[in-house]
Amino acid sequence: MEGEPVGTDIDRRPPTRLLRGAGVLISCFTALLGLLYFVLAGAVLGAFLLWPRTRGRAHALLAAGARRLTALERRRRSVFFHDSFPEHHASDQQVLRYLASRTYAGLLCGIVVGLLVVGVILAGLLAAGVARSTLTWQELLSQVVLGGVLLFLDVQGLLSLAALDTRLARECFGPSERELLERRINELAASRAAVVQAVDTERRRVERDLHDGVQQRLVALAMLLGRARRSKAPEQADALLEQAHKESQEVLTELREVAWRVYPSALDNLGLHEALGGVSERCGIPLRIEYDVSGPLPPSVETAAYFIVSEAVTNAAKHSSAEDIFVSVKGHDTRLAILVRDSGVGGADPAGSGLTGLHSRVAALDGRLNVHSPSGGPTTITAELPCA
């Protein structure tokens, strides 16, 4: 069942009801093959299955034959239901359990189909009796009511058994490619919405920093220059100009900090390692960085890695009361592993705005982010980003 290129030549369009109905009918015949296999294999291998010394070998032989019938069932699902399953290796127990359940469900489906055929024959006899006028209205009404109830039960039984067949195939073969594609579409839609929200949050934060920080300092600078311009005493004017010069330097420093939080130019000029060095220089507590990445990284991965470290370090410096922070950035094959650990009090909320933004940024690259912050610390943030 594994390694078989199933579904490469199957129509990707949803199967018609007629095709699905044919698949259900064929499942009744494949269930007879399963029953025949279990009967014959039980007769031949029964004694060996009971003897401990030969049980393992006999069980392997039983599972090997069951895999062939299971591959037939997988092919039936692909042809008549357009299920294309990814490569998946099921254990011997899974194969035997699936074939036994599939045989039971198929035989039960055959019984339901047989009852439905009998009902159709009886309906034909009833129609013939009506045509010959040999039935009274009371008999006709009772037969129609009874036939309608039986038809309803038969149809519901077939629908339930078809759903059971689908569930059994999914449990043994794994989710189909269509289900995986639908799941992936949902994940991409959720990550896209999260990225849009993260970008909007970041824009609001930058606007707040400019309004509450840089703008207020520029207003103070303008007031100082205005007072110096109107001052009639040279000594007072010089003092105001000196204060204005100091204020202008602080404005430039804060504006540079805002620009770094938007996007650090060092990423383009010097690379991720040097950009992380800038984070260490601006951190108010001791920060140790281990960087072990060979080869260049995609720009999107570099940007995400920088903001993961920067945001995690900023949160630790502001809220954790940590004495030191450790950062590790290592490249493993096609993935980049990031670890940020502080010695603070812990209790970080993964649903907070900062960590939620990091989750969105990592999810947009199909990465993973984990936050472990028990009360009392330490807080450890790990992230894995695909580089391929």
Residue 283 in any domain: the answer is yes
Same structural domain, 154 and 206: no
- Domain-located, residue 249: yes
pLDDT tens-place string over residues 67-114 = 899 888 888 888 888 877 766 677 888 888 889 999 999 999 999 998
Determine phi and psi for 288, rounding to 5 degrees: -115, 130
Asked if 227 and 356 sit in the same domain, the reply is no
Beta strand residue intervals within the chain, DSSP E: 287-292, 325-332, 335-342, 368-372, 379-386
Do 280 and 372 lie in one domain? The reply is: yes
Q: Is residue 373 part of a domain?
A: yes
Over its length of 388 residues, how does the chain's per-residue pLDDT go in tens digits?
A: 444 444 444 455 677 888 888 888 899 999 999 999 999 988 888 888 888 888 888 888 988 888 899 888 888 888 888 877 766 677 888 888 889 999 999 999 999 998 888 888 888 878 887 777 777 777 778 888 888 888 888 889 888 988 888 888 888 877 666 666 777 777 777 767 666 666 666 677 777 777 777 778 788 888 888 888 888 788 888 888 888 888 888 878 777 766 666 667 667 777 888 888 888 887 878 888 899 888 788 888 888 888 888 888 888 888 778 888 899 999 877 889 999 998 888 877 776 666 777 777 787 787 888 888 888 878 899 998 888 6
Note the pLDDT tens digit of each residue in 316-345.
Answer: 888 778 888 899 999 877 889 999 998 888
**Of 262, 289, 306, at which residue does a domain stop?**
262
Residue 287 lies in a domain: yes
One domain for residues 25 and 148: yes
CA distances (Å), origin 333, targets 51, 293, 294, 303, 385: 48, 10, 10, 19, 11
Final residue in a domain of this structure, among 245, 262, 279 = 262
Neighbours of 106 (CB within 10 A): 24
Q: Number of structural domains, the chain? A: 3
123 plus 168 within the same structural domain: yes
Asked whether residue 321 is assigned to any structural domain, the reply reads: yes
Give yes or no: residues 277 and 235 share one domain.
Answer: no
188 within domain boundaries:
no
Identify the domain containing residue 365 by its residue range: 269-386
What does the block give as tokens for 229?
């311009």
Q: Give yes or no: residues 350 and 380 share one domain.
A: yes
Same-domain check for residues 274 and 255: no
Establish if 183 belongs to a structural domain: no
